[in-house]
Amino acid sequence: MSTFWSLFIIVISVGSMLGSLWLLFSNARGKMSTEDTGHVWDDDLRENNNPLPRWWLNLFVLTVIFAAIYLAFYPGLGNFAGTLGWTSNKQLAERLQVVEAKREALFSQFRDQDPGALSKNAAALSLGRDVFLNNCAGCHGADAKGAVGFPNLTDHDWLYGGTPETIVATITNGRNGMMPALGPSMDKATLDAVVQTVAHWNDPKLDPAIREKGMAQFNITCMACHGPTGTGNPILGAPNLTDNIWLYGGSTDRIRETLMKGRQGKMPPHQPLLSADEIKVVAAYVYSLSQN
């Protein structure tokens, strides 16, 4: 804060307190009288011009004294920091130290155990669920069953793998999934064939001619990521197209939309937000959900 504004605040604050005292004492003089101000309510209720009662005056004076004492100890007069040296940042740092100490004591008891073992530990799972609800439920839901574009964490279908170690890596480093827009490179008949083939991968009633045409294009544009059998690739995060689990929906309209527009999926890294111990227990909790 500049010197000008600091002095401006000091003058306004001190002047306000002195002005309040002057106003109080200047109106406290005089004796009780029957002279009224001319204000009348309800026909006979009149306002007299009398000084403040002494007890009321004293209360006002005490508030001014309290303000002066407060400003002497705490910051409030421009750049004057107060004799106690209190700052909101210092208070926050002190409270964070207390919280960090409690958190350290709480999570350190699981530090030497791997997430697989912790997935069977009731205390660790309870703690992991709390971390999940505070950091993951916004996308995956409180029940961890996900939504359109956000994976269901309670089944056995994993884009990048569902081992405890892989889950830890996903939470720590995040994931960036990208499905390019491939539909515009196909003519309508070919696009329709690919959509029908993917939507009815295991349906023996699908017209063989449509399947043949769709697979021919699939092998050109899709096989590199999803594999020749369509079962996906965890290294790339390419989903399995042969089951009935769809991240963005498995209807023909949804599949066509995916091919035409592509998909951009991002799981942000949580290493800046969570400690290694917190990541371990939440990974154990997530892993346990798919084991039931």
**Letter string b/e over residues 246-267, b meaning 16 or more CB atoms within 10 A of that residue's CB:** bbbebeeebbbbbbeeebebeb
Determine the pLDDT at residue 15.
95
CA distance 214 to 196: 8
pLDDT of residue 52: 79
pTM for the structure as a whole: 0.73
What percentage of residues in the chain have a pLDDT greater than 70? 97
φ, ψ of residue 187 in degrees (nearest 5):
-80, 170
Q: What is the pLDDT of residue 44?
A: 74
Q: pLDDT of 83-114, one tens digit each?
A: 999 999 999 999 999 999 999 999 999 999 99
Q: Which residues of the chain have pLDDT under 70?
A: 29-35
**CATH numbers and ranges of domains, the chain:** 3-73 (no CATH), 115-289 (1.10.760.10)
Angle, helices 164-173 vs 276-289, to 10°: value is: 130
The predicted structure's pLDDT at residue 33: 61
* pLDDT score, position 153: 96
pLDDT of residue 31: 65
Kindly state the tokens that stand for 238: 């390419």
pLDDT tens digit string along 155-175? 999 999 999 999 999 999 999
